Amino acid sequence: MKTTYAVAALAAGANAASIHHRHAHDALHALEKKSNDNSTCGCTTIYSTYYGQPTLVFPSVPAAAPTTSSSAAPTTLTQTQVVVPTPVAQTCSTTGVYTFPATTVTLTDSTTVAVPTTTAVTSGTNVVGGVTTIVSTATTVTCPYATVSTSEGVTTSVIETTTYVCPSAGTYTIAPITTTVTEDTTVTVPCVTSYTPGTYTQPEVVTTITETSTVVYCPFDVPTPTAETTSVAPVTTSAAPVTTSAVETSAVETYPVVTSSVETSAATATEYPTSSSKAPAPTGGLGGAAGQPWGVTYTPYTTDSTGECKSQSVIEADIAAIAAAGITTIRVYSTDCHTLDWVAPACDKSGVKLIVGIFIDTAGCDASNPSVQEQIDLIAKWANWDQVDLITVGNEAVLHGYCTPAELAALVTKAKSAFTGYTGPFSTSETVNIWQQEEFTSAMCPVIDVVGANAHAFFNQGTDASEAGAFVKSQLDIINKACAGLEGYIMETGWPTKGNAMGKAVPGVSEQEIAIKSIVAAVGDKAVMFSLTSDAWKDENTDCGCEQHWGCASVLGITL
């Protein structure tokens, strides 16, 4: 029997500082969760737990036993009781034609329960369930979500609530569940389902079962109102529609679902053309040596509180020190502070490659944004493509609400047309949860060549320093599946030396060394370390209190 089971959530060129694209983390990263990678949702999450009555006030109604017809031996059935009008799970032990009689349930009051729901998953790590919410502006969303609780060996579905502070318009998946399977299969996850008063009918279903021990879910129709009810809303659930396995039938209907938990409207996406001539994908040029970091992020600003542009001699010394430690690549975020006329020549002299970036830090994700257009023009004029490993357009620009997916895709296409002679790969860098959104991948996958993601284990409160490598590896596994045929790379990952503990994630000098060595061992050849230096100009007034303390040069063997 192919079983189903429940899984629990693991609770550059611009030569003046006037165009200072200062990159830093912020409180949004506090949502880096072990479930995705997380699954960052672009919001600050505050967990509280709500436990309702241990049993519902409605009487249990036993599901009617089916009749069968088959030339084989008589069939037997294992079934569950109907407590509320959820799809009835019934296990058919043999093949044959099953007839499931009609069942009716009448509810006199509204109720919300955790209901088991099946969904098909592929081999590997999958993110399922959760509550998908679309918000049209910055807002706070408080909603219930379903999870499982285990006590004294008994696993029970429970409903908890969570509050997300969403900083901008977008689509957010709240409290998803991560499961890892070794083959394509069907899993069962709990989901929040609300029922309004009314009479629910599960119609008669005639189904041909072609495999033994098949589980069939028989859904209920949308209810008719009771005498006391003037209108009845459809059933609301956070999970995917129920499906059946190895069943030949036209009688099983899709369970009605509504995926948004708040009354909001989606922002209208502008239509932009995609690239008609993609640059050829890389053929093995990206990444570093096994057991070594691919690169380190580099910003040409002084490390004091002023954050002014570094001098040319300091930049040259920095790059020479990076090269001396065996680091082959640096990632720059923009064209700030002589990136193209001082940083790039220093890299060329020391044999260090560049990941060139176009930084977007305000709304205006197109060439009409003067800052964006200036960076594109400077890079196009510079055009030393033999120094470039990768071009990234945007860093968490969609996460922060500066770009829609369609706008960012159009900007990548714009850069491709502007950078004449460049035949290397293009990408962008977003958090893993953004890559898990269909709107984003459908827009971006056709115009990029590799999948780039920022993944910080420190912001996953269930991960300590020694587990950082395993966490980042799980994030890489997720993005490797984001775009068919495209390989994933970690564009930013690290661990701070000071700040506030984030659950099991504790900052510190020794913790940083443990974490970064763990990351390098697990995915170093496909990861860029963040960052070369600690920077006093960054904002320290964040939840983690860690923004100024990510410098990891000493751990990487870089002597500045």
Q: Report the alpha-carbon angle 300-303-306, nearest 5.
A: 95
> SS in 3 state form for 66-99?
CEEECCCCCCCEEECCECCCCCEEEEECCCEEEE
Bridge-based pairing of strands 451-454 and 67-69 is unpaired
Q: Is the CB of residue 429 less than 8 Å from the CB of residue 490? A: no
Q: Cα–chain-centroid distance for residue 162?
A: 18
Strands annotated E in 285-401: 295-297, 329-331, 353-358, 388-395
Q: Which amino acid is at 110?
A: S
Q: Cα–chain-centroid distance for residue 169?
A: 16
- Rounded-to-integer distance, Cα 476 and Cα 60, Å: 46
| Structure letter (DSSP) for residue 502 | B
Catalytic positions are 396, 492
Which residue bears the tokens 């780039």?
Answer: 452
- Select from 185, 199, 218, 222 the least CA-distant residue to 92: 218
- Rounded-to-integer distance, Cα 442 and Cα 452, Å: 15
Query: Three-state SS for 170?
Result: strand
* Omega before 531 within 30 of 0, i.e. cis: yes
Characterize 38-66 residue by residue with b for buried, 16 or more Cβ atoms within 10 angstroms of its Cβ, and e for exposed: bbbbbbbbeeeeeeeeeeeebeebebbeb
